Amino acid sequence: MEFKSISELQSLLNDKKISVKEIADTYIKKIKEKKDLNIFIYFNEDKIYEQVKNIENFSNEKKLKAIPIAVKDLFCTKNMPTTAASKILENFHPTYESFVTQRLVDMGAMFVGKTNLDEFAMGSATNTSYFGNTINPLSEKDIPLAPGGSSGGSAAAVAADLCLGATGTDTGGSIRQPASLCGVVGIKPTYGLCSRWGIAAFASSLDQAGVFSKNVTDSSILLEEMAGYDQRDSTSSNVKIPNFSKELNADMSGKIIGIPKEYAVDGISDEINQVWEDAIKSLEKKGAIIKKISLPHTKYALPTYYIIAPAEASSNLARYDGVKYGFRADDSNSLDEMYELTRSEGFGKEVKRRILIGTYVLSAGYYDAYYIKAQKVRKLIANDFVNRFSECDFILTPTAPSAAFPLNEKQDDPIKMYLNDVFTVPASLAGIPGISIPYGSDKKGLPLGIQILGKHYNEQEIFNAAFALEKDYE
Amino acid sequence: MKLDTNTINKIAKLARIKLSEQESKDLLKDMNSILDWVEQLNEVDTDKIEPLANISSSSLPKRKDQAEDINSSDEILQNSPDKLEGYFAVPKVVE
């Protein structure tokens, strides 16, 4: 049994053709069948049935009543442990619920489990998790593919039909890139639209929560429920959240679409360029006006990101010291040794690498040369977008430089791995919203993604463009 | 080569992460290649550009400075790897 959308499941529930318990049964069965893909870090039937009892008492007016949602294991949840895919948070039971997941609970959502990710969201293939790789559900039997990352478990959960929506976080592309590789819709809203409260912090000036779903409408429904002002996050925006799903409009006539020439980078396959071209043509046919634009500082986005993100991470991850929660190493003779051994054994390789880079670029004598310099270049990258958005309504690019790649292929060379985020990082640095939708496929039939970027707080514009493009595949 | 083994070990000490010899060696290679790669930012003229620390374009409201009791010390202590009489316990600091 497959439900195609939130509204389909809701009508069945309203017409009493299915019960809340039957929905739980259906998804529990599906999740068990796909156990080998290692999509979930935490899955417990009892916890799902506990929720069923509460959800049954909810009014059918609740917008997400009984909608099965998978939660990235970076969000603190009170009834399920939270690990950030790290040994250092093994056995951590949050004493509170994150703002975003609380919103979903209040609307009647049913959490089916906590999904796998790169450790502390640091990675692009869900292969730095302490709990092992997640396998992309689109893989052929003999060649397991990566789901992308860091929110690879959430993207895979939607692609494998183990939920109707999933939460993710995006710091440099961690929602959009896995959405592209798994062939689902994924949106990173404007920085500050969803509260970061209760999400394990990676790089606070970039981290933003968002969602995955099977279609654009469902993402718009989920985002309007998750977003909103929270006084416990000092960078949460106090803006009115539009009714995205109600306002969805596929009319593209007169819309001006920016096509940045800097996104035509070397080494990108013809297939990806072809899909990009197809999407441009489709929007043109729907009445949009195509405008070639330039975002001159694009090539500096990745190096800027790989200074700023590790710097903030080194500071944020200082809290994991083996004292208050999580893992503590045995057999230490002093407090300092306890810290050093705990962090040495508790963090994986990529996390240690980023903490050390961050510590270095923030250290005395190097702070101005690296960190301040990167923040200045970040200003120029953000200005590029602000300037170009005065002459176009949104920007259209590919989402990722490749389709899903074989597991572990890109693990040896960190810089090569970082290139996965080449198209997604600039928008993260600028704090603007971006959505990835599946559009076309490569020779092997693997999905490719198109990314649509919009002005700050203009999620509606990119939802609409995505909605218009989605119709090409109906 | 920007970093040598001594610098790596010094940074690791600052970050309170103990590194094995092999780890230091691997990290030296990776970090030098990453630092060489980010060097390209020096091509960009950033004179008179203000560093961007907060990307949010909306005004950030202040909240009232009021205490809120959202969880109990018992619950919090349950997560601690070692606790003693209502406190977090750590290895002895003073002899």
Domain residues of chain B, as ranges? 5-41
- Cα torsion through A354, A355, A356, A358, rounded to 10: 80
Given an 8 Å threshold on Cβ–Cβ distance, is A96 in contact with B70? yes
Which chain B residues touch A331 with a CB distance below 8 Å? Answer: none
User: Measured on CA atoms in the order A48, A49, A54, A60, is the torsion positive or negative?
Assistant: positive
Per-residue pLDDT of A345-371, as tens digits, reads: 999 999 999 999 999 999 989 999 999
Q: Say whether residue A409 is in contact with chain B using an 8 A CB cutoff.
A: no
The residue in chain A having the minimum alpha-carbon distance to the alpha carbon of residue B22 is A349
Give ipTM to 2 decimals.
Answer: 0.94
Pairing, β A110-115 against β A68-72: parallel
pLDDT confidence bin for B57, thresholds 50/70/90 = low
pLDDT at B70 exceeding the cut of 80: no
Verify whether the Cβ–Cβ distance B31 to A356 is below 8 Å: yes
Say whether A343 and B16 touch across the interface (CB within 8 A): yes
Q: Is A327 on the interface with B (CB under 8 A)?
A: yes
* Distance of residue B33 Cα from the nearest chain A Cα, in angstroms: 8
Of B41, B56, B78, the CB nearest to A237: B56
B13, B33, B41, B66, best to mutate vs chain A, most A CBs in 10 Å: B41
pLDDT value at A308 more than 70? yes
pLDDT at residue B1, as a whole number = 62
pTM score > 0.90 for this model?
A: yes
User: A336 — contact with chain B (CB < 8 Å)?
Assistant: yes
Percent pLDDT > 70 in chain A is 99
Q: Which CATH class is domain B5-41?
A: mainly alpha
Report yes or no: A99 and A71 within 8 Å, Cβ to Cβ.
no
Structural domains in chain A plus CATH codes: 6-252+398-473 (3.90.1300.10), 299-374 (no CATH)
Short-list A120, A71, A78, CA closest to A95: A78
Task: Pick the residue from chain A with its C-alpha nearest to B69.
Answer: A96
Does residue B20 carry a pLDDT above 70?
Answer: yes
Contact predicate A192/A235, CB 8 Å: yes
Q: Which positions of A are catalytic?
A: 72, 150, 174
In this structure, is the dihedral angle defined by the CA atoms of residues A322, A328, A334 and A340, taken in order, positive or negative? negative
Query: What is the rounded end-to-end Cα distance, in angstroms, of chain A?
Result: 20
What rounded mean pLDDT belongs to chain A?
Answer: 96
Question: Quick one: pLDDT band at residue B59, thresholds 50, 70, 90?
Answer: confident
Contact B16 A378 (CB under 8 A): no
